[in-house]
Structure formats: C-alpha cells, structure tokens
Amino acid sequence: MNPLFANLQAYPFERLNTLLAGAESNPALPMIPLSLGEPKHAAAEFLLDQYANRESLTAALGTYPVTKGVPELRSAIAGFVSRRFGLQGVNPDTEVLPVNGTREALFAFAQVVLDPGKRSVTLMPNPFYQIYEGAAVLGGSTPYYVPCNESNRFSPDFSAIDEALWSQVSLVYLCTPGNPTGRVMSIEELTQLIELSDRHDFVIASDECYSEIWFDEPPVSILSACAAMGRHDFANCVAFNSLSKRSSLPGLRSGYVAGDARLIESFLLYRTYHGSAMPAHNQQLSASAWGDETHVEANRALYRQKFEAVLPILNNHFEVDWPDAGFYLWPRVDHVMRSAQPDEDFTLALLREQAVKVVPGSYLSRTGPDGTNPGYGRIRLALVAPVEECVAAAQRIATFAEAHL
C-alpha cells in the first residue's frame, strides 16, 4: 500500500455524518439541508434539449471521446475565458483543456507540478476545499495552511511566509471566490502573488468555480492579473472553473483548466494516461453552456433573492454580511453556543431542535501555523435550497439563537 494514504484526513461530510449519527432531527419539522454546496436550481431547458436528439446521443455514446476536447468545446471555453476575464484571445488549441469538473482536475493537476524526488511545500487557503490537501499529500508534498480570517478580511495572508519556506514552495492553491468565505481576491493581491511566483518559481492553481455567482462586481481571475501585468502567456498560472455552479449542472461533471500552455500540455499528457476524457455528449452540451449568459444571469438572480431574504433575518442575532460572491454564509456562532466545541455543538443542537443541517466551521479548516483554527466557532450555510426553504431555515436559526442566547 502507498504509505501516503495514511496522511489523508476524513472528508468534512464523513465527519459531519459521524457527528450527527444517532442525533434525531426534530421530527415535527421537515429537515432543511444547508450543508452540501450542491446547486439545486433547474438546468436551462435549451441545454437539456440537447440530450433529446437521439441521433447525436447515439453517435456520441458509440465513440471514444477525445481527451483534448472537440474543437467546438475548446473554442467555447476560450471564448468565455477571453470575454469574461478581459483577455486577448486565449488560444483554444494550447491554452485550455476540458476537465470533468474542477474537483478531479484540481486533484490531478498536482501530479503535473510536484516532483516526486524533491521535498516540497504546497500552500493552500485555510479554511479550504479539502481536495487541495489530498492532492498535496498524495503528491508527496507537505500542505501549509495559509490563514484566511477576520484580521486579513478572509484573504490568504502570505506575509507570514518567510524566504526559507518560499524556497520550498512548488504549488499554491487559491480559491477565489473563496469557499466558505465568499471572499474575492483583488487584482492587486493576485499580482503580488504572481510577483512572488517569479521570485520563487512556483505554480499558482486558482480555483475559480464560484466566479459566476456574484452580486456587485464580477470577480477577476488569476489570468486577468497576468494580463494586467502584460503576461499574455500566463506563465506559471492556471485557472479552474466549472459549469457546476455557473449553470447549476453539478451532475454534468464539466469544467476547464486554462492558462500557461506549458502546464496545459503536460496536463493533457497526464490525462491521456489517466483516461479522463469528457464523454462526447457532455462536450457538446458544455460548448453550448459556455456560450450562453442568459441562463447564468437567471441563476445569479435567484441567489441574490435568497441573500436579500435571509440576511435581514440572520442579522438579528449574527454578524453576517453579503459575501463578495458564491452562495455561502460563514457566521460566528460562538456567542450563541459558549462551549469548548461551539461549531460542533451548534450544528448538533440545531439539527435536534430546528431540523436544519449545517457544517461546523472547524471541519473545513485546520489548526494553522499560528496555532489557531479559522473555522473554530463558525458554521457554513449553503443557500442552495429554494428561496422559501432558505427563509424558513434562517427563521429557525434565529429562533434557535434566541433560545440559547
């Protein structure tokens, strides 16, 4: 057995199931799950219609798909990335690659970057999407958790990293907009990191899968920062994105990686061996989805409606504001639950008393180098359920807080 497996940690939802095993959700109320970040809005009809064409579906199912993606999909992705992030003609042949959702791609990409013969460090935000940690661990690299907390407005604080540590860094994962904080990194913050990458020669893998769920200003990409610096080859930088959140299609398993052609070329080689080509009918549908904005605007409007309705209810008892982007809220709850494990205890009691399921913040983060866990005392709420359910959940959370304050 590969000894590195021993270093993989239980996934947050496994830990949540263990915490809640044996706990009875209040039987008088229908349970409302705000735990999983799984988009629930209906898929656009014009996209679903594509599967109704039996002839093209039959043809697609009868062929091995190409790992590099069909030209229509590559052009659609390159067109989206160029339009949306203000770039000068991203090359569809060399600078984009379709992937089966960002999760597998973020994980597999570490294999392209990490040198098995060299000790290395992989930086990631804390709290984080746990796939970054698993990718580093199985790549034989040591994860280093960069704090994102109130004092740095939830943006990764790289200032505490000294020269000795930078010299060991091979890979940096970013998550912008952040899960669970909703924080969007500014072009200045991204530019500073790219300058550090020039000095210390590491690769930046920017997870941007929430970039299309925004409220005031569309988030920038790591690729926008490259372009602002005049680096149209995106050296050492790649962005990951997906149709899961943008088009509310988490079951399609469709995304892209875009950026540095040298890294994309190696990733394509890796994927050819790995056998992770996107099925041809999904490639066709994905090309249409990347090319349309109307359904994305409708999707965004639904999220806006939820935040507008939920925030005033929660604000009576919690300090919680609009995120920059994404569909999560990340409130402190340790003023309501004053115990040694406030986020776990809050989660457990909320399910028992009010039949609302959330995720304890400390399950989404680690105790970092400064000795603190930025998720401690917080919970994550995913506003993915229909608006009436989100409102009902917010009212129950408010009632719960009143009873415990």
Ligand X SMILES: Cc1ncc(COP(=O)(O)O)c(C=O)c1O
Helix runs in 86-204, H state only: 102-113, 131-138, 163-166, 187-200
Number of chain residues interacting with ligand X (CB under 6 A): 13
Q: Which one, of 147, 270, 263, lies nearest residue 206 by Cα?
A: 263
Backbone angles phi, psi at 172, to 5 degrees: -125, 120
Cα–Cα distances (Å) from 32 to 27, 247, 248, 378, 393, in that order, read 12, 23, 19, 19, 7
Return the residue of 250, 361, 375, 377 that touches ligand X, per CB under 6 A. 250
Return the residue of 60, 175, 223, 325 that touches ligand X, per CB under 6 A. 175
Return the residue of 255, 360, 361, 374 that touches ligand X, per CB under 6 A. 255
Give me the least distance between CB of 265 and ligand X, in Å please.
22
For residues 217 and 402, give the distance between their C-alpha atoms in angstroms, rounded to a whole number: 35
208 binds ligand X (CB under 6 A): no
Return the residue of 37, 134, 140, 377 that touches ligand X, per CB under 6 A. 37
Q: Between 342 and 374, whose beta carbon lies closer to ligand X?
A: 374
For residues 233 and 71, give the distance between their C-alpha atoms in angstroms, rounded to a whole number: 21
Q: Which stretch binds ligand X (CB under 6 A): 25-33, 96-104, 143-151, 310-318?
A: 96-104
Return the residue of 35, 67, 176, 179 that touches ligand X, per CB under 6 A. 179
256: tokens are 């892209």
147 binds ligand X (CB under 6 A): no
The site string for ligand X over 53-92 (x = CB under 6 A, - otherwise) reads: ----------------------------------------
Give me the least distance between CB of 101 and ligand X, in Å please.
3
Q: Between 182 and 342, whose beta carbon lies closer to ligand X?
A: 182
244 binds ligand X (CB under 6 A): yes
Give me the least distance between CB of 379 and ligand X, in Å please.
16
Contact 366, 373 (CB under 8 A): yes
Residues 210-229 that bind ligand X (CB under 6 A): none
101 binds ligand X (CB under 6 A): yes
Q: Which one, of 170, 181, 166, 194, lies nearest residue 126 by Cα?
A: 181
Instruction: Please classify residue 395 by burial: count the beta carbons closer than 10 Å to its beta carbon, then call 0-12 exposed, 13-18 middle and 19+ buried.
Output: middle
103 binds ligand X (CB under 6 A): yes
Cα–Cα distances (Å) from 207 to 38, 185, 214, 287, in that order, read 17, 11, 15, 20
What is the dihedral angle through the alpha carbons of 160, 166, 171, 175, rounded to the nearest 10 degrees? Answer: 20
169 binds ligand X (CB under 6 A): no
Residue 100 DSSP one-character state: S
Around Cβ 269, how many Cβ atoms within 10 Å? 12
Q: Between 208 and 345, whose beta carbon lies closer to ligand X?
A: 208
Instruction: Please classify residue 333 by burial: count the beta carbons closer than 10 Å to its beta carbon, then call 0-12 exposed, 13-18 middle and 19+ buried.
Output: buried
Return the residue of 242, 286, 299, 354 that touches ligand X, per CB under 6 A. 242
The site string for ligand X over 106-145 (x = CB under 6 A, - otherwise) reads: -----------------------x----------------
35 binds ligand X (CB under 6 A): no
Positions touching ligand X (CB under 6 A) are 37, 101-103, 129, 175, 179, 207, 209, 242, 244, 250, 255
